[in-house]
Structure formats: structure tokens, C-alpha cells
């Protein structure tokens, strides 16, 4: 269990990257007709809610993927998927398995988890914070501990 706890931040970072990438791919498919194109008809520019949902998917997914404004972007993405589930899917049936809302439900809860736990490792925002603390200079590596006791 210690190994799992030590790798927590790494696993959370990988989770954030994968979820952000998958979400951004949905937005790109809908907005630009790539990666298999939109699921259903393509929305017209600025059309509510389809075009705006795709824009949130692309931009929000990319921000989460990179780790920039992760908590706010993840909260927005989670909310957009909650809206999609309750407005689009739940009309047809209550349970996600019945109404085709499984992806919306999974993305909603995944982004809520990211918003609550933070970005984990490899977030661009943490690199920016480290550079700002040092006046824009790269932060030097910490000295390696020695096995020999110091003489004082």
C-alpha cells in the first residue's frame, strides 16, 4: 500500500492527462469534423448548446490536459457534463445504461474528482509557479543527501 500512496500524485497526473485528452478530442471532433466527426449533426457556430458544449470540451479538456487552471476548468467541464446528462440523456430514461448517458456521467464525475483533488504531477501551472518564485530563473536541483555524518 505504501507504493500506491507514493505514486498517488503521479497516477492523479496521468488520470488528469488522459481525461483531458479524451474530452478535448470530443470537442475537436464536433467543432472541426476530425477524429471521426461529431456524434450526431454538427452544430452551427455559437449554436446553443451544441457548439458551446464542444467549445468547453475542446478548451476545458486542453486546459485540464496541460494542467493550467486545472481546478476551475475541471469544475466547468464537470458542470457541462452534468447539464448534458440531465438535459439531454435523462429525458429518455433514468439510468445512464438506458439513456446513452454513460460518457456524460463518467466525464462529469471524473472532472469533479480532478477539481477536488487538484492536478497531480506534471501540471504546467506548477512549473510556472516554480519559475515565478525564483524570478524566472530555473530552480536548481536540491543537493543530494550524504550517507556520512557531518563533523561539527
Residue 15 C-alpha cell reads as 488520470
pTM for the structure as a whole = 0.81
Comparing C-alpha atoms, which of 5, 14, 24 is closest to residue 120?
A: 14
Provide the b/e sequence for 109-143 (b: ≥16 CB within 10 Å): ebbbebbebbbbbbbebbeeeeeeeeeeeeeeeee
Which of the two residues, 132 and 81, has the higher pLDDT score?
81
Q: What angle is formed at CA 110 by the lines to CA 105 and CA 111, rounded to 5 degrees?
A: 105
Cα gap 111→106, rounded to integer Å: 9
Whether residue 82 is predicted with pLDDT greater than 80 in this model: the reply is: yes
pLDDT digits 0-9 by tens, 45-76: 999 899 999 999 999 999 999 999 999 999 99
Per-residue pLDDT at 152? 41
Whether residue 146 is predicted with pLDDT greater than 70 in this model: the reply is: no
Amino acid at each position: 500500500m505504501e507504493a500506491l500512496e507514493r505514486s498517488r500524485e503521479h497516477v492523479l497526473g496521468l488520470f488528469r492527462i488522459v481525461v483531458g485528452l479524451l474530452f478535448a478530442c470530443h470537442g475537436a471532433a464536433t467543432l472541426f469534423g476530425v477524429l471521426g466527426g461529431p456524434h450526431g449533426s454538427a452544430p452551427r457556430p455559437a449554436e446553443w448548446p451544441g457548439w458551446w458544449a464542444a467549445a468547453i470540451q475542446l478548451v476545458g479538456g486542453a486546459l485540464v490536459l496541460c494542467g493550467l487552471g486545472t481546478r476551475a476548468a475541471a469544475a466547468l467541464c464537470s458542470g457541462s457534463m452534468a447539464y448534458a446528462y440531465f438535459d439531454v440523456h435523462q429525458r429518455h430514461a433514468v439510468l445512464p445504461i438506458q439513456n446513452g448517458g454513460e460518457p456524460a456521467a463518467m466525464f462529469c464525475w471524473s472532472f469533479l474528482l480532478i477539481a477536488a483533488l487538484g492536478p497531480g504531477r506534471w501540471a504546467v501551472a506548477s512549473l510556472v509557479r516554480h519559475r515565478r518564485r525564483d524570478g524566472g530563473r530555473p530552480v536548481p536541483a536540491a543537493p543530494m543527501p550524504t550517507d556520512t555524518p557531518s563533523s561539527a
